[in-house]
Structure 1
Amino acid sequence: MTQFLEGPQGRRIAYNRIEGQGPGVVFLGGFRSDMQGTKALWLEDWARARGRAFLRFDYSGHGESSGMFEEGAIGDWFADAMAAIRGLTEGRQVLVGSSMGGWIGLLLARTMPERLAGLVTVAAAPDFTERGYWAGFSAAERAALLERGRVEQPSDYGDAPYVITRRLIEDGRDHLVLDQPLPLPFPVRFLQGTEDADVPMSWALDLLAHGKGEDMRLVLVKGADHRFSTPDCLALIGDALDEVLARAG
């Protein structure tokens, strides 16, 4: 049953949690996704079958949480994630970050490493507001963003376009992770599909090269797309979690 946490600045964060052994697992969803997605629900079943504590939640402006998506930014969603982990989990956690959730997971690793037992990312998209949107905008789109405060981008995941705001871009610059040292002092597994149309495979290689840790691996899956939700891909996420948990001790 969905419950609610009073989050930062009065934002109401919707979540589902199951009790179990630790380290717990926390799922961090992607940009404009929610905790009812295929990976989130599959992971909950995975955790329940193993008696493992598990948390999934919606960032503000996503799913059942309060707020408007277009008013949010990376810093807000990072703060929501911190509040959820601090308020709803105990002890060390293994984060599973999907797409933007991978970026959020890296920010959490930088900010609260003592609470992390490991990290698994799926098509991680660190710094995507800058490396993806801003870098890909035409001169006209950049001008429109600066003048009007927003531009619309087509979406492959529904009829409604994505509204990209000036605040999202500027706030993203305050939360970049690839422009400074990125210590990852715990087991880390990056998963990436070679046919991902949203996150280039080169980004996964950049992240592997940039992160500093003794136990980091990248798994490339030929033919997998950004959703990474086929039965085989979901099984790979479970395998990565099993490996990280075994090594986390």
Structure 2
Amino acid sequence: MADPDFLTTESGRRLAYHQSSGQGSGVVFLGGFKSDMEGTKALWLEAWARASGRAFLRFDYSGHGQSSGAFEAGAIGDWAADARAVLDGLTHGPQILVGSSMGGWISLLLARAMPERVAGLVTIAAAPDFTEDGMWAGFDAAQRRMLLEDGQVALPSEYGEPYIITRRLIEEGRDNLVMRSPLHLPFPVRFLQGTRDADVDMSVALRLLDHASGPDIRLTLVKGADHRFSDPDCLALIGASVEDVLARSALASLG
């Protein structure tokens, strides 16, 4: 495995990334909560981009993977700022964002903040506002009291060690909600969602489809697919969705 390059942000965070060159609008992969850029979807997309001659970028948020910082010190706004720093510092022109889980939320924040830098969007099990609607809403009275008094609470995870959820993560997440105000996406958008996703319920994708506005938005449900969305058929669907968004973005730019 090749060593990553690093981008130092204005805030001093050191972000690990891998970037490959290519033609046209580049593709940027935004990973999920406590995941890293070495996951199946990121690596598959990188191989797809190389084979297609398409520029591609994958990176780790601060506190994730090989980037600097402690995971427990971060929050949604920090990771969105990391993504924006990577987009500003390493890419030129409009990009295709591919956001997985939390990366879906962050890609929506980028699309809202800098739509001129987004040529299109593909989300995979997008989890907008999950700190509020998933975590805080799901906490019982004891967990809420522990979070407020101790500053953190541990949640079990199917992916390894428990997640340490901090009070700051919840409170700062409220400053970055995207489902409480208009969300206009003026470029091709493809939402992908599995029906057996135990982490992000299918209802979230339906709410997002209903909430977002734009000229070219579609939701594809895959019966039986789980949150990983990484079997061969799901990966092929991700690639086809990116190709569709690229083609439609190119047509829109000609018009």
TM-score by length of 1: 0.99
> Secondary structure of the residue that 2:11 maps to in structure 1?
helix
Deviations 1:176-207 (A, max 9, x none): 00000001000000000000000010000000
Instruction: Tell me, in whole angstroms, the C-alpha distance in 1 between the residues paired with 2:247 and 2:147.
Output: 47
Query: How many residues in Structure 1 have an aligned counterpart in Structure 2?
Result: 248
Task: Identify the residue that residue 211 of structure 1 maps to in structure 2.
Answer: 212
Q: Distance in 2 between matches of 1:161 and 1:220?
A: 29
* 1:81 paired residue number: 83
Structural mapping, 1:195-206, within 5 Å: 195-206=196-207
In the TM superposition, 1:1-249 aligns within 5 A as 1=2, 2-158=4-160, 160-249=161-250
* Deviation by residue 1:192-230 (Cα, 9 ceiling, x = unmatched): 000000001000000000001010000000000000000
User: Would you say the 8 A contact 1:26–1:54 is kept in 2?
Assistant: yes
Structure 1 consecutive aligned stretches of length 4 or more whose deviation exceeds 6 Å: none
Residue by residue, what CA displacement relative to the aligned partner does 1:81-139 show, whole Å, maximum 9, x if unpaired? 00000000111100000000000000000000000000000000000000000000001
- Offset of 1:8 from its aligned partner? 3.9
Give the match's secondary structure for 1:17.
Answer: strand
Q: What is the deviation of 1:9?
A: 1.2
Q: 1:140 to 1:8 in 2, by over 3 A?
A: farther
Which sections of structure 2, spanning at least 5 residues, go unmatched?
A: 251-255
Superposition RMSD on alpha carbons, in Å?
Answer: 0.5
Q: Which stretches in structure 1 are left out of the alignment for 5+ residues?
A: none
Question: Percent identity over the alignment?
Answer: 72
Distance of 2:173 and 2:23 partners within structure 1: 35
After superposition, the C-alpha distances for 1:38-72 in whole angstroms (9 at most, x for unaligned) are: 00000000000000000000000000000000000
